[in-house]
Structures are given as structure tokens and as C-alpha cells.
Amino acid sequence: MKRVSKTLLKKLVIKKFRALKDVEIEFGNYVTLVCGKNGTSKSSIIGIAAQIFSFEKDYENDENLSFQQIAKGKFKSQYQEHFRISEKFDKVGSMKVNIELFDGYTNKDATAELELMSRGKDPRPVVRNNSTAIEGQNKSRNFTHPVIFLSLKRLYPIADRTKYDVSDFDYLGEHEKEFRGLTNELLNCHSTHVTGTRGTISSAVSHGDNYDQESVSAGEDNAGQIILALMSFKKLKEEYANYKGGLLLIDEADAALFPTAQINLLKIFERECKNLNLQVIMTSHSPTLIEKTFDLSQKFRKKYKTVYLSNTYGSLEVKDNWSWEQIYADIHTTTISASSGNSLPKINVYFEDKEAADFFNALIYRQPIRKFTKCFDEVSLGYSNYINLIEQNVPEFSRKSIICLDADARQKTKGTLSTVIYLPGELPPDQLIFEHLYNLPPDHDFWDKESMCSRDVFTQSGADVIREFDITGVEVNIKERLENYKKSTPAREIFKKFYESDGFKKILKNNPWKHWIKCNAKKSNEFLEEFRKIMLNIMRKEYNVGVDKVSVVKCKPING
């Protein structure tokens, strides 16, 4: 299948414009959140982004374009919608912006400049030196790309709109179920109806049976306009054969949305940016939205960007490498708590199987490092799969995450792998715990009379293992038994069946892993310290976490 070229705004180098001087803004392929205190030129940045594009002509095919949004608006933002030119300060020559993007129409990287120039009575922003313009074409033209700019005008209160009339939009009527579903997903609600409106603002809202468009909340109205924009791009993709994606710009995206809705908004953006080849650039003051986008930017650096603008220390600066803790302190005008650990990313941890995840979770139970891990318990890849992904230099496995392999994998691995750690002991987890429990005498305090968790219950659940490996007596050395095992059924299958049996699941409720860890405190502590070192190395190299911030990444010693 041929890959569709997608136009992407990559970077703005703002030499001068209002408070912005010699700053570089890099954009994510999916979502970029521009944030900062009031007066830090956030809206100016999305205004510049809007000004770069128009959607009136496909110059590559010499084709005029007349596509419309669902509510009949154009896929273009006029400069008056995002800039109010100051006669006193916004003079000709007072803006100079270098533009870098990937142009989907020419399938090439492209450049241009944006300057305030004299056009009629007042200065206006004009794109110059468009590198996609061929010999003989006007180089002072915008790039072709559909844009929807949702300004603060969309928040105009419904009660104050002089015109607010019900209107049928054909595409909306045909896709009412999708609009309602997106609204319910975003707001975590159960709307049943959709109504389009036209007047001061053209929009649409979802509402319930017991109220209508006249009494929807500001949050429902904002949600409706965002969803209408997303569906307008979907409409365009269906109608325009040469579709190269789109740019959605939203000023104060979080307006009137409660925290859960803000998180849901990012989830929807992730899906729709992929499905519709969209790039979203938005501003916000919301700590919830900033923190979540920052977390995503640490995990998916090409897809997400957090651009923080700060004038705290004099001239306006772009802080694209600040931690969430630094951003939080700046927007709240507070100092950083050295012990909070809020700025640290969570490191993904992968395992060979569920048994290994159970063992690991028992090892880090109540450990301070636990809050900096995200365990993928349900992802089960074999040793060779993980090693192959690491050798192929897949970043998620070779640099950004910790791969927790079974202890026996240590003998198969050549050399040291920086993201790999091996579970304690010498056996795979299911074999290790079988040996440990089998070797506990019937009167050991681990066996619980009240819950009827006895050694007999254990041996009953492990009957197949005992029979297949001809285990007799009161103690067993599983390693020796494996060396002498000659039958056709793979040993791993037998132990896995034991671990997953209903009988052993009852024993798991008595926490045998905790008992193993207490009995093997030295090995467990060595594992935890090695895990901590690998985690710190990843945080420093891949997430730019400073040495002074990692003091909270520590382990408590396990006492035997």
C-alpha cells in the first residue's frame, strides 16, 4: 500500500515578533501543546502557524479548491481572526519568521519566511520565498494545506449570541451517530441527540432528552466545536482525492472541560491524528493537560511536543527540555520540591510471561521505585523476540524500557545489554516457585490452616510436574531434574500448566512470591539495586532527567 504524504509543520524560527525574539519552536507530528503564563505570546505562535497556509489552490495539479467544512466555513484562517495589528507597534518589518515544514504535495522538505508587509491600508503577514514555488510562480504565497483555527471566539456565551438558530448540516445529519459518540467519549456522558446551530457562531452540540441546544453548558459547546472540526477533516478526506492531512489549531483547548475530559481529548487526538493525518497545535493553562501532554512527549518524542514559554528570568524563552516539575513550579510561581519525584517519567517494563510479571511485582511491592514503573503484564514475548528487537535497535526496547527476562536467559545472552535485567535465582519463575514450595515441610508457617493452604494442596496442584519429573522425597533440585528429563513434552509447558492451574491460583492468594523474596533477601536486594541502576541510566539518557532529580529513585532493603 502506497504511503500517503502528510504535510507537517516542523519548526518556526521566530527572529522577531512582539515578545518573541530569536526563539525556535519545534512541533510534534501529532500534538503540540504551547503553554506558559499570561503574556508569553502563546496565541501569537498558533496565529503564525495559521498564517502560513491557505486551501484555495493545489499548485502541483493547477487545481482550484473549494471544499468546505461541515458548517460551510473554509479550511483557512484569515489573519484578522488571529492577529489584531497594532498601529503603534506592528510596523512593516517588525515580524520575521523562518518556516520549516514537510510539504505533502511535493513530497519534500520546504522553507519560507513570514513577514509583516504593506498590503493596502494596513500591514499584514505575508509568506515570502516559498521554496515549493517553481520557476515563474509567485513565491510570495502560502503553502497549500487545510487549516481550522478555533479561536477564543468559539467560547462566546450562548446566552449572548444575537443569532442562534437550529440548522441542518447535511454531513452532520448523515453522521449524527459518530458526532454523538465522540461527544460522549470526550465528556464521559450519555447524550442522545445532536443539533446543529448557525448564527453568531456555526456549531453543533450533543444533548440529552431532558434539555436541548438552548441550555447546553459551555463545556458541551466547546466539545461540539472541536468534534465538528475533527469531523470536517474526515469529510474533506472523503471528498478530496489528493488529501495530505490537515492542521487543527485551538486556543485554550481546555476551556470549560473538566480534567477527565481533557485527558479524553488527548486520547481522541491520538486516534484522529493517525486516522486523518492531522497535526494539532493548541494552547492551554491547564496543569492536567500540560502534565499529560508532557508525559506523552517523554514517551513518544516525535508525536508529542510540550512547548513551554517562560519570561520568569527576563526575556521570553522557549523551554522545550524543562521537566513537568519545573513547568509546574513556574506556572504556579513556586519553588521545586526536591523530593517529590513528580518530574520523573515512568519507565515501561516488559516480561516473557505472566509468571515473570507476578514475580517482579512482588519484588517491587511497596518499593519507592514502583511509582516510576509501568508494567506491561499482558505483553508476553519470548527471549529471542526481545533480543531481536534490541539488536534491531528498536528504541522502545533498546533504549527506553527495561526488559525483565527469566533467570535462565542469562546463560543465552552474549554480552551486556543496557536495558535487560534478569530475575533472581537460576530458574524460570514457575520452576523457581515450585521448587521453593515443594521444599517447605508440611509444618512450615507458610502453610495456612485457616485458608486450608497446605502442602498437600500444593502437591495436588503440582501432580503433573511430580509425575513427569519422577519427583520423590521431601526435597527436590529442579535443575538436576531438568538435566535428566528425556520426555517429548517440553518442560516449560508442564510447569506453565501447573502455574496456571486453579489449584495453584488458590495458593497464589497466600503470596508465595513474598515468602520466596524474604527467604532470599540477598538475591532480591541485588536485583532491586541492579534494576534501579538501569532505570536511572534510562532516565538520564533518554528522558534528560538531571542527577539532582533522581534522589527519590531508591530501594528499601529487604530483610530476611
**Which CA distances in Å does 263 have to 216, 284, 325?**
21, 13, 19
Asked if residue 425 lies in contact with residue 407, where contact means CB atoms within 8 angstroms, the answer is: yes
The string of DSSP codes covering 239-286 is: H-TT---EEEEETTTTTT--HHHHHHHHHHHHHHHHHHTEEEEEEE--
Strands (E), 373-489: 373-380, 402-405, 420-422
Here the cell at position 348 is 515501561
Strands (E), 314-437: 317-319, 347-351, 373-380, 402-405, 420-422
Looking at residue 338, its pLDDT comes to 40
Q: Cβ neighbours of residue 74 under 8 Å, at least 6 residues apart?
A: 55, 68
> Greatest CA span in the chain, whole angstroms?
100
Asked if residue 280 lies in contact with residue 266, where contact means CB atoms within 8 angstroms, the answer is: no
Looking at residue 326, its pLDDT comes to 74
Based on its alpha-carbon atoms, the radius of gyration of the chain, rounded to whole angstroms, reads 30
**Which CA distances in Å does 418 have to 227, 387, 553?**
44, 12, 18
Looking at residue 547, its pLDDT comes to 67
Torsion of CA 193, 196, 202, 203, to 10 degrees: 20
* Matching residue, cell 518530574: 343
Asked if residue 496 lies in contact with residue 353, where contact means CB atoms within 8 angstroms, the answer is: yes
Asked if residue 274 lies in contact with residue 315, where contact means CB atoms within 8 angstroms, the answer is: no
Query: Is pTM beyond 0.75 here?
Result: no
Q: Burial level of 339, CB count in 10 A (0-12/13-18/19+)?
A: exposed
Domains of the chain: 8-65+77-145+240-331 (3.40.50.300), 158-219 (no CATH), 347-522 (no CATH)
3-state secondary structure at position 382: coil
In this structure, how many other beta carbons lie within 10 angstroms of the beta carbon of residue 379? 13
Asked if residue 202 lies in contact with residue 71, where contact means CB atoms within 8 angstroms, the answer is: yes
Q: Burial level of 210, CB count in 10 A (0-12/13-18/19+)?
A: exposed
* Long-range contacts, 232-240 (Cβ 8 Å, 24+): 232/69, 232/70, 232/71, 232/75, 232/148, 233/146, 233/148, 233/272, 233/276, 233/278, 234/275, 234/276, 235/69, 235/70, 235/171, 236/67, 236/69, 236/75, 236/146, 237/276, 237/277, 239/67, 240/65, 240/67
Looking at residue 343, its pLDDT comes to 55
Alpha-carbon gap, residue 232 to 239, rounded angstroms: 11
Segments of the chain with pLDDT less than 50 = 1-2, 336-341
Here the cell at position 208 is 440529552
Looking at residue 333, its pLDDT comes to 67
Looking at residue 453, its pLDDT comes to 86
Provide the CA 508 distance to its chain's centre, in angstroms: 34
Please choose, from the candidates 414, 408, 411, 418, the residue with its C-alpha nearest in 3D space to the C-alpha of residue 352: 408
